[in-house]
Every structure is written in structure tokens, then in C-alpha cells.
Amino acid sequence: MNNRRILHVDMDAFFASVEQRDNPTLLGKPVIIGGAQDSRGVVSTASYEARRFGVHSAMPISEAKRRCPSGIFLPVNGAKYREASRQVFTVFRRYSPLVEGLSLDEAFLDVTGCETLFGPAVKIAEKIKFEIQSEVGLTASVGISYCKFLAKMASDMEKPDGLTIIQPEDLQTRIHPMPISKLWGVGKKAAPQLERLGIKTIGDAARMDLHTIRRYVGSLADHIYSLAQGIDSRPVEPFHVRKSIGQEVTFAEDIGDIEFLHTTLLSQSETVARELRQRHLEAKTITLKLRYPSFQTITRSQTLFEPTQLDDILYQSARVLLEKCELKSHDKVRLLGISVSGLAPERVQQQVALFEEAPEKPHNLMKAVDLIKDKFGERAITRARLIKNKQKP
Ligand code: TTP
Ligand code: MG
């Protein structure tokens, strides 16, 4: 397994870099993506200039504003980032059929079999970086190693615009001194727990007494023990299927108005259904998430009789699910969202239409709406007017 050549590519400050690319007056400035300055939302990402002020992903916008008063705060523009992502993945697929996307901005590529065609892995990495820069106008960092774990660690080591190779002999010198929290799969909860057990670095994990640690953290012990020794035989899986698609919003002020909640659900249903159609998927289950001002959070799910990718069906079931939450007249809502799961490739609608005339119509209508949005933008055509000032963008 040690003779594989795996690349991990991760875009640098992805959302922020797209904004800087499209508006050069933002270059070199602290750009913070996530929401309006007075919103209660969180930071999606920050440019490297903003990171110097201590701003990072998942930080409340209010805290980011405090740390970086000169920051330029911009809303998330999902359609734009998805398009940049599509272009970046097109570059990846030129160099290997084995591309496993982990998110919009990162992927593993197994280029083991591709070296005779394109040259050694490091040359492939250089070409990918060059093409992303010249065709998409963005920088990426690439890690190269013989397994996924080390390739992923490597891409993070010289960000931004990095290219890092980790050979088996680099494990002890470059990986083992790193804090345990950097190890893939060790979350915010597990890291302090492991530290209390004396495992502070990745090297400590490689030397730990597996039987003892297993008693405290279960199978996580086995996982980190192998990775810390540079053992990771997981293949690059190109057909990694998304398990769910969702949309949620934290309101700028808590909402008690049921009409407003319905309007929010309609907008979310439209966005989620559009993403399903863009990905040629249908969903079987819809889940509604609702958070009260007390932070108590509830979810309600419904499995549909037939999988769907239509706005109306998602909206109708979202309303039914909201009713199941049994909101009282004085109740207020802090966060509302829907997500769909049970995803499967879309069935060919024309076949359905051969037998029944009706189902074809909503599909055709939605495809026409999609075409208009593709051409003129997400807001070119909407069904209901959103009361924007109540919502985090
Ligand atoms: P990351 O690759 O984690 O971050 P990044 O690309 O912004 O910066 P880096 O150079 O460190 O890789 O995530 C990719 C995008 O995903 C990021 O630009 C915004 C989005 N994102 C969120 O919306 N919320 C989050 O909490 C994180 C971590 C990312
Ligand atoms: Mg990134």
C-alpha cells in the first residue's frame, strides 16, 4: 500500500479568495465571509489577512467584528462558490479518474496509475496548481503522500499556495511533533480527553498503550494509533455520495410570526430542491430543524412516499413538520432549517411522463426556472417576497 501516490488539494481561504478575485479592491484586505456585521451568525471563513487578527471559521460574527474592526464583512454567495468548485474539480479530473471530493474546496486524487501519462506526482501537483491559478484565478495547497491521512496533513502544512511532500521517513520528524488535535478524526471533544490521558502529540499516540487507551475512548484509540504510525489503507473513493443537503437560517431577531416562518421554509425548499436538481438527485426524507431562543433544538422528519426534487413537495412536507412542532402563540424561533436525505440518482422524468401526463409539468416548470436562474442569477425569479431585514443573509 506504501507505493500509492495520493494528492490532497485544498483551496486557500476558499470563499474569501473567490470574493477577492472578483473584486480586486479587496486584495490584501481582511475579508470575512459569513453575514452582516450586526448578525448573530458565524464566520464561514476569513482571508489570511483577517486571520492575523485572530478571526477564524465558526467564530460568531460579533466576535470577529470585535477582533477585526477594519474587516470587510460579506455574505455567503453559494452559487458563486459552487461554480468555482465545479471549475476546480474539472481540473482535477484531467489528471485522474479517482477524485474523491470531501467538500466544495477539497479533494483527494489517487494519481498512482497516472504518472506514466503526466509525470511524477509532484509534477501533477504543480500542473494542477498552475491550471487552477490560470483558469479559475485562485490558489490551492497540495499535499502528496502514500496515504490519505498524510496527504491531508501535508496540504495544511505550508498554506497558502503550498506544495508539501511527506515521505514515510518524514513521519517522525514532521508529523509526530504536531499536537494531537491536528490528527484527522480527533474532534474538539476528543482532543482534551486524549491530552488528559497523556497523549498530547501525534507521536504520543504512536507510542501509546493501545489496550489502556481503548478503555477510555473505545475504537477511536485504534483509529489514531494506526494513523499516528502512518498506516492508512483507505482507498480514494470517487463515488463518495452526499448524504444530505440542507439550508438553515439563524434569524437576526427571534421570530414568532408563523407567516414569516412559512416564507422562510418556502425559500429554503426552493434552494434545496434546486441543489437536488443541479446534482441530478432526488430525496426520500425531509427533516425540519427548529431552535428556540433558549437554544433547545428539535427536529422532525418525514419520509416521502416517492422521492422528489420538487420545491412544492418539500415545502408542503416542511409545513406539516412545522405543525408537528406544535408552536404555541407566544413561542419564538431562533433558527429554522430543512434538510433532505435518502438521496438517490434522479429517475428519468420523460419515462414517467410516458405513462402519466401530470408529473411532467412541475418538472418542466422547475427545469425552466433553473435555466433562468443559471443565466440571470438566483434572485432572477422568486415565488415569494422575503422580508429580508429579518434574516441573516
Ligand atoms: P476550509 O478549507 O476549512 O477553509 P478555507 O478554504 O476557507 O481556508 P484554508 O486555507 O484554511 O483551507 O473550508 C472551505 C470553505 O468551507 C471555506 O472557505 C468556507 C466554508 N466553511 C464554512 O462555511 N464553515 C466552516 O466552519 C468551515 C471550516 C468552512
Ligand atoms: Mg480550504
58 within ligand 1 shell (Cβ under 6 A): yes
Neighbouring residues of the ion ligand 2, judged by CB less than 5 Å: 10-11, 14, 105
Q: What ligand 1 atom has the least distance to the C-alpha of 16?
A: 18
11 within ligand 1 shell (Cβ under 6 A): yes
Secondary structure letter of residue 134 according to DSSP: I
C-alpha 345, offset from chain centre:
20
What integer pLDDT is reported at residue 90 of this predicted model?
94
Three-class SS state of 235 = coil
14 within ligand 1 shell (Cβ under 6 A): yes
Sheet arrangement for strand 31-33: 45-46, 31-33, 72-74
Distance 105 CA to ligand 2 centre (A): 6
283 closest CA partner among 262, 312, 309, 311:
309
Query: Looking at the domain that runs over 171-228, which CATH code has it been given?
Result: 1.10.150.20
What integer pLDDT is reported at residue 244 of this predicted model?
87
**How many C-beta atoms surround the C-beta of residue 385 within 10 A?**
8
- Domain locations along the chain: 1-166, 171-228, 244-376
What integer pLDDT is reported at residue 360 of this predicted model?
57
Look-up of cell digits 508539501? 164
- Residues 340, 284: Cα–Cα separation, whole Å: 7
11 closest CA partner among 115, 63, 87:
87
- Residues 354, 322: Cα–Cα separation, whole Å: 35
Greatest CA separation for the chain: 68
User: Which CATH fold topology does 244-376 show?
Assistant: Dna Ligase; domain 1 (3.30.1490)
Question: 1-166, which class in CATH?
Answer: alpha beta
**What does each C-alpha distance from 2 to 6, 120, 122, 169, 268 come to in angstroms?**
10, 16, 16, 12, 46
pLDDT tens, N- to C-terminus, the chain (393 residues): 578 999 999 999 999 999 999 999 999 999 999 865 555 688 999 999 999 999 999 898 999 999 999 999 999 888 899 899 999 999 999 999 999 988 889 999 999 989 889 999 999 999 999 999 999 999 999 999 999 999 999 999 999 999 999 999 999 999 999 999 999 888 778 899 999 999 999 999 999 999 999 988 888 899 999 999 999 999 998 865 567 899 999 888 899 999 999 999 999 999 999 988 887 889 999 999 999 988 888 999 999 999 999 999 999 999 999 999 999 989 999 999 999 999 888 775 544 444 444 555 667 777 777 777 776 776 666 665 444 444 444
